Amino acid sequence: MATPDEIRDGLRELDFALQAAWKLGQHMIAGWTVAGNVVSICAAPVWRVLAEAPKVPRVLSGSRQMGAQTFGEVAKTLQARPIRVELPFTVGDNKGDVDPQVVDQVVRRYGVSRTEHRAVMLFDIVGFSKVDPLAQMAQLASLEFSINNAAKKMAEIGLDIELARSTVGDGFYVWNRARGFEADLRTYAALVLILADNAVARLRGQADFVPTLRTCFSVGAHYAYHQIEGTRPRGFEYLVGEVTIQLARLIGKAQANQVCVGSFVRPTEPPVVRQLDTILFLARAEKLVDKLQGLTVGGHAISRIRSQITGGKVGDTAVPLVVHRIVDKHGYNHDLFNTRLLVQREEADPIVVGLQPQDLAGFEAEALPYRIPEIT
């Protein structure tokens, strides 16, 4: 069994080898495999990996660790000569081995990976450019506190979540580092806590120092990469892809204090896989959100939380559920649901976040009746 010092030294040597193969971002690591204590790395020019990805999706999808046969096929396709690194420990699943995930986390910083389904939130601070720099800093700090506080409170009840974020200047994309259906449900639960905490801060704080938000949530595909900073990639990931593009388009039309949920389909996980649309996903999320009862927001315990997709009028007809369709600057359609959150607390006024249908007069969207999608 390797000692902690041996593991640390071995991972450092691996990192040195990866950095040399990476060539300041000219190359990317498409995959790795292991035999005992020898790790083999496949590095190739970024353009070549991305050009071959449609034919060989494995270079971007899933873990960067590959079986020996797959690794050999990928290296041949990318015309790459494997780089071998001998480590002072064995990588594997046996007792005393170092978990392959530990190695994979080091390798991932030097590559690009695709995730088919992930929940992402986008918070935009309304009127951010109209306040002075001190107030801007205060608003960003307030929002970051609400994000961190939500993760802390969820951990208190056993719903661990690691919320990553990337700035958009006047707000943040926020996502759960963990992947999977349960992780996405937890992301939605975190959204509820973040918005509740921000709403309480708005009531208590100085108006210019606590942000007014417009918020979007959706689930979709994306690519993850690590930003180059100096001569090394940064230690945390950034997202770009379908889900971030959708959120950016939605937030561009959203109004102050509005909470939008994008239209998406998210499969559950084995043993029974079901395709859930937005409405069914939120129904599952409600069961998890119920577990937040008892947590304190603004010094008062939560007694009940409910999410509501609003209805409204389609023409002259009132319908219980409305889908709003926006057209972005490129002429593409994006569907969303207007959502309201109700957080009831013991011995305190309830927290209500979101807009009612009558508040959407200026919302540039076409109202359509919700119809259950045909999901294959």
Structure-token pair, residue 203: 């009531």
Q: Quick one: which of 140, 122, 192, 189 has its CA closest to 161?
A: 189
Q: What is the model's pTM?
A: 0.91
Q: Quick one: which of 195, 194, 112 has its CA closest to 153?
A: 194
Whether the CB-CB separation of 287 and 188 falls below 8 Å is answered with no
Per-residue confidence (pLDDT) for residue 313, from 0 to 100: 84
Structure-token match 């990996």, residue found: 49
DSSP 8-class letter at 357: G
Structure-token pair, residue 71: 């690794």
User: Distance (Å, rounded) from C-alpha 267 to C-alpha 375?
Assistant: 10
Neighbours of 338 (CB within 10 A): 27
Q: Which domains does the chain have, with CATH numbers?
A: 4-111 (no CATH), 115-369 (3.30.70.1230)
User: Distance (Å, rounded) from C-alpha 141 to C-alpha 58?
Assistant: 39
Residues of the chain with pLDDT under 50: none
User: Distance (Å, rounded) from C-alpha 42 to C-alpha 336?
Assistant: 41
User: Distance (Å, rounded) from C-alpha 169 to C-alpha 263?
Assistant: 25
State the helix-helix crossing angle for 100-108 and 4-22, rounded to 10 degrees.
30
Structure-token match 């999410």, residue found: 307
Tell me whether strands 300-309 and 333-345 are parallel, antiparallel or unpaired. Answer: antiparallel
Structure-token match 């009132």, residue found: 318
Whether the CB-CB separation of 241 and 120 falls below 8 Å is answered with no
User: Distance (Å, rounded) from C-alpha 375 to C-alpha 205?
Assistant: 46
Q: Quick one: which of 246, 250, 182, 192 has its CA closest to 219?
A: 246
Amino acid at 367: A
Amino acid at 31: G
Q: Quick one: which of 321, 317, 338 has its CA closest to 373?
A: 321
Per-residue confidence (pLDDT) for residue 136, from 0 to 100: 95
User: Distance (Å, rounded) from C-alpha 184 to C-alpha 269?
Assistant: 12
Residues in the chain: 376
Per-residue confidence (pLDDT) for residue 231, from 0 to 100: 66
Whether the CB-CB separation of 225 and 240 falls below 8 Å is answered with yes
| Cα distance between the two ends of the chain | 49
